[in-house]
């Protein structure tokens, strides 16, 4: 057993905040380096946004998979992570982070305290709530035909569907649900899409009816969605189309919550500032994934880069915990799993 394991007072080598893809892979990789790890997440299930918002959405940028359903990726990540039996604390929100005089770190949660020799923050975007259109009448249709995310594709089978938005989520859902729905219409307020070029090309070659420079004005129906009024934002001409369901993919309002009060150096209000070792300004505290960024480098916020950042962080955390040790762990093919 390595020195990093050697404590009998319940102090972890690494506490990981966040059980999204980066946090799960970080926990697995820490197991490869024989570190004592726990994972804490406010959600009741692992997987972060993939599990909470997009379980049936395909992911295209994970090495080894031409495409993979979010729920399947989470399943495989959890299976991989649990090889080393880390402690999992789900449904527990971290509220405070304090570095003690002896260099250990105390995390205060809504259920108690955790103590660790180092901390890896993989909090994604923090708490997220969907952006909504400023029409209070839409509220009555929420979950009665109006959706901000998709957790079950089957509910759209045989329906006329309207997708609103021009990002990856809008394009992906329009394509993903094309074979489920009777008809899919996608509207976007301009002619430029914020999605992968390949996905946009596939969209334009699909049977999805794409209407650019269009926006959603109102939704009609008696207790459930039955129609939508859309308008051309250039001419203001309105069109009423029959729809059974509307998916608004306008992005999310994000809030890092108490993380902003932990004394971490931030880049704006969205990112924790890190260096190339994924270190923050607090010794022993690291960050990886969508919540972290280097100054002067535009964040990519991809699952693939989150995996890499978690790997980088864990290796340098090992060196932090074992002064004089090499950050490079050797090749994983040399280890017996």
Task: Please determine, for residue 81, whether its predicted confidence score (pLDDT) is greater than 60.
Answer: yes
Please check whether residue 186 is in contact with residue 210, taking contact to mean a CB–CB distance below 8 angstroms.
yes
Q: What is the mean pLDDT of the chain?
A: 91
Q: Phi and psi (nearest 5°) for 307?
A: -60, -50
Identify the structural domains of the chain with CATH numbers, from first to last: 3-128+252-334 (3.50.50.60), 132-248 (3.50.50.60)
Listed residue (137, 204, 169) closest to 58, CA to CA: 169
What six digits make up the tokens of 225? Answer: 């969605």
Per-residue pLDDT tens over the stretch 133-161 = 888 889 899 989 999 988 888 999 999 99
Query: How many CB atoms neighbour CB 3 within 10 A?
Result: 10
Beta bridge partners of 277: none
Listed residue (65, 17, 30) closest to 75, CA to CA: 65
Q: Report pLDDT for 19.
A: 96
Between the alpha carbon of residue 311 and those of residues 27, 67, 77, 176, 315, the distances in Å are: 9, 22, 14, 31, 6
Per-residue pLDDT tens over the stretch 188-220 = 999 999 988 999 999 999 999 999 999 999 999
The CA angle 278-282-286, to the nearest 5 degrees, is: 25
Strand-strand pairing, 252-255 and 14-17: unpaired
Task: Please determine, for residue 241, whether its predicted confidence score (pLDDT) is greater than 90.
Answer: yes
Q: Report pLDDT for 3.
A: 35
Q: Return d(Cα 251, Cα 331) in angstroms, integer.
A: 39
Task: Please determine, for residue 329, whether its predicted confidence score (pLDDT) is greater than 90.
Answer: no
Q: Report pLDDT for 124.
A: 85
Listed residue (197, 228, 198, 200) closest to 214, CA to CA: 228
Q: Report pLDDT for 335.
A: 59
Please check whether residue 4 is in contact with residue 13, taking contact to mean a CB–CB distance below 8 angstroms.
yes
- 0.85 exceeded by pTM: no
């Amino acid at each position: 057993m390595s020195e990093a394991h050697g404590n009998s007072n319940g102090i972890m080598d690494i506490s990981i905040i966040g059980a999204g893809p980066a946090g799960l892979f970080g926990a697995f990789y820490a197991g490869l380096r024989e570190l004592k790890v726990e994972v804490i997440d406010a959600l009741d299930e692992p997987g972060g946004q993939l599990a909470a918002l997009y379980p049936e959405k395909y992911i295209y940028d994970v090495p080894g998979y031409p495409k993979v359903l979010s729920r399947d990726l989470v399943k495989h990540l959890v299976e991989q992570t649990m090889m080393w039996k880390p402690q999992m604390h789900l449904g527990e929100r971290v509220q405070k982070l304090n570095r003690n005089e002896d260099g250990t770190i105390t995390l205060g949660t809504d259920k108690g305290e955790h103590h660790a020799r180092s901390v890896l923050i993989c909090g994604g975007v923090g708490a997220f709530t969907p952006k909504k259109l400023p029409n209070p009448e839409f509220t009555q249709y929420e979950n009665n035909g109006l959706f901000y995310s998709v957790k079950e594709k089957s509910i759209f089978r045989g329906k006329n569907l309207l997708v609103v938005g021009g990002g990856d989520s809008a394009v992906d859902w329009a394509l993903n649900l094309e074979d489920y729905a009777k008809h899919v219409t996608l509207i976007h307020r301009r002619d430029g899409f914020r999605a992968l070029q390949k996905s946009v090309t596939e969209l334009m070659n699909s049977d999805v009816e794409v209407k650019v420079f269009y926006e959603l004005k109102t939704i009609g129906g008696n207790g459930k969605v039955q129609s939508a009024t859309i308008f051309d934002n250039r001419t203001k001409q309105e069109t009423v189309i029959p729809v059974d369901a509307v998916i608004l993919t306008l992005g999310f309002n994000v809030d890092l919550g108490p993380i902003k009060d932990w004394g971490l150096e931030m880049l704006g209000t969205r990112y924790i500032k890190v260096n190339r070792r994924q270190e923050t300004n607090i010794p022993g505290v690291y960050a990886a994934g969508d919540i972290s960024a280097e100054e002067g480098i535009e964040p990519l916020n991809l699952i693939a880069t989150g995996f890499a950042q978690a790997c980088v962080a864990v290796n340098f955390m090992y060196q932090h915990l074992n002064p004089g040790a090499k950050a490079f762990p050797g090749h994983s093919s040399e280890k017996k799993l």
